[in-house]
Structure 1
Amino acid sequence: MKKNKLIFLLIFFFLSVLELYSQTGKKQIAEQTYQIPGMIYISSGEFLMGTEDGFDYETPKRKVFLPAFFIDKYEVTNSQFKRFVDSTLRTPPAHWKGGSFPKGEENYPVSSIAYYDALAYAKWAGKRLPTEEEWEKAARGSDARIYPWGNDWEKKYANVRPMLGFGKPKPVGSCPEGASKDGVCDLCGNVWEWTTSWFQPYPGNTKPDPNYGEKFKVIRGGSYRQSEVIAQTVRRDFLDPNALRIDVGFRCVK
């Protein structure tokens, strides 16, 4: 009798595993066949967020689980933001002359955008802005990369500050070799990117910082004005949500 019961339990377990595998496979197939033009799919799962080697406000390193999401392959461009401005009559960036971006810069990342303008664009486009957790997972992947492409710095893979001066922005996608493992471009350098996250301590971080609270939004990715160290996937900075900085732009998620 005990032998029959054991056989029954083994068969039940085996069938349960097969069913779970089948359902998981069906879900993955369904997710992979659903695509959004101009966006990259980031699968659900855990990733390592934070570091033990950075600034105090970037610690500690911990596991974070996120559901699947889509993220723009590129930063939002001047031409994309111009369509939003024309459609909503929203005030264009201050450095645009005559209500439009400089000639020949249609594919440059839009910049000098306040957080709330980026938020309005995302809503108009049927999307939203990323949390900093989503941003870091898209950049870092599930294998805890230092840079989107891997752990070794490659100068031609990102638009960051040169040895002399501050550099300048480039059209989005100018450094395709620096894409993340999923194919997201310009997550390192070019322009900083807004997130929806307030600048708060990470869970488990008890070190005080006068800038914590609901005063500043987290920006990610570095820019052409910072070195490659500041553009690493774990780096975070903060900014007044009303600030207009020439090296800050954004991308959307869905």
Structure 2
Amino acid sequence: MTGVTRWTGREADLLRQAMRKKGKDFAELVGVNPRQIPRWKGRGETIELELDNQAALDTLLAQADPAVQQRFAALLTERAAVEHDERAEELLRADSRTRRHPVDGKVMTLVEEGIHLCGPDKRSVWLEPFLIDVYPTTNEDYARFVLATGHRPPQHWPGGRCPVTLATHPVVWVTWHDAIAYARWAGKDLPSARQWEKAARGPRGRIYPWGNEPTAAKANVAETGIDATTPVFRYQSGVSPYGVFDMCGNVWEWCATEEEPGNGRYELKGSAFTSPFERAAPSLQNAANATMKDNDTGFRCISIA
């Protein structure tokens, strides 16, 4: 498991819990004064640790037993799923391009018209302006759709009800037809592969949403060792130039673009928690039959600007 993107007092305390260590013993492993440990815990996310402490925690996590790493990943995911994320909300409030959709209530952001560099060869492509969901469609979003339309719920919902612990995780086990049904209910559409890619890479054709550096810790991919979906707002350091989250990792996302006209297979973008980081670049292509559904496949929507 790689180091976390940003070590604060919160992540340090979760690692201590995962290792099942008392404060003094944990301080000795990190190489700090034992008085630092309760201070970190008390300050939580308001204190970003010194670089040498972050490096020590990275090493400690990387060398930990797999059981410890799994517990740490589970604690991170559980906390993120039930807590309000102020940092994500601040990002949205600061961005004048965002607005809330009147039907499904999701925050969308504007992708301006113009040329963008597309595909591995960075060819120039013109697109009209559009709005795209800042986050993938969550289980909570999909539950409102199911309640309003009577549409079949995903197979992983116990008794057909959205699990509270997965409310802010991307919905999965949805076919392309399920995704289209949601989009039509909301008065939206699925993005074309080119629209999705522009929202992920920006107009200048970054390799990844955050830039050109291959940093697996900025996305929920196989190398993180989480082996499950995570809350859609978790990877703030991995947002695209337009402020769009989870364009690498977490879940593959259905697009409106057919692989070949009439063959019933539609493009998927972004990779997933099951995929190696090498599959995460938004320019890469993937496709599946419209009836396919899996535990790592979801979607997000667009609308006309």
**Normalising TM by the smaller chain, what interval?**
0.7 to 0.9
**Alignment map for 1:90-129 (pairs within 5 Å):** 90-129=151-190
- Partner residue, 2:263: 214
What whole-Å deviation, never above 9, does each CA across 1:130-175 have from its counterpart, x for those lacking one? Answer: 00010010011111111001000223211100276x7211010110
Greater per-residue helix proportion: 2
Equivalences for residues 1-254 of structure 1 within 5 A? 35-37=98-100, 38-52=107-121, 61-162=122-223, 167-200=227-260, 214-254=263-303
Q: In structure 2, what is the equivalent of residue 206 of structure 1?
A: none
> Taking structure 2 as the reference length, what is the TM-score of the superposition?
0.64
State how far apart, in whole Å, the 1-side matches of 2:262 and 2:124 are: 23
Per-residue CA distance 1:183-215 (angstroms, 9 max, x = gap) = 000000000000010013xxxxxxxxxxx7523
Q: Deviations over 1:45-86 (max 9, x none)?
A: 01111114xxxxxxxx42110011000000000011001001
Greater CA radius of gyration, 1 or 2?
Answer: 1
Normalised by the length of structure 1, the TM-score is 0.76
CA contact (8 A) 2:216 2:223 kept: no
Looking at structure 2, the residues matched to 35 and 171 of structure 1 have their Cα atoms a distance apart, in angstroms, of 20
* Higher RCO (C-alpha 8 Å, min separation 6): 1
Retained in 1: the 8 A contact 2:146–2:152? yes
Q: Is the 8 A contact 2:217 2:224 kept in 1?
A: no
The percent of aligned pairs where both chains have the same amino acid is 38
* Letter aligned with residue 45 of structure 1: G
Deviation, 1:33, is: 6.8
Unaligned runs of 5+ residues in structure 2 are 1-94, 101-106
> Which residue identity lines up with residue 242 of structure 1 in the other structure?
T
- What corresponds to 2:89 in structure 1? none
Q: Equivalents in 2 of 1:163, 1:71: separation in Å?
A: 27
The runs of at least 4 aligned residues of structure 1 exceeding 4 Å deviation read 32-35
1:92-146 alpha-carbon deviations (Å, 9 max, x no partner): 0112111113331100100010101110101111211100010010011111111
Equivalenced residue count is: 203
The farther-off stretch of 99-108 and 219-228 is: 99-108
Structure 1 alignment gaps of length 5 or more = 1-31, 53-60, 201-211
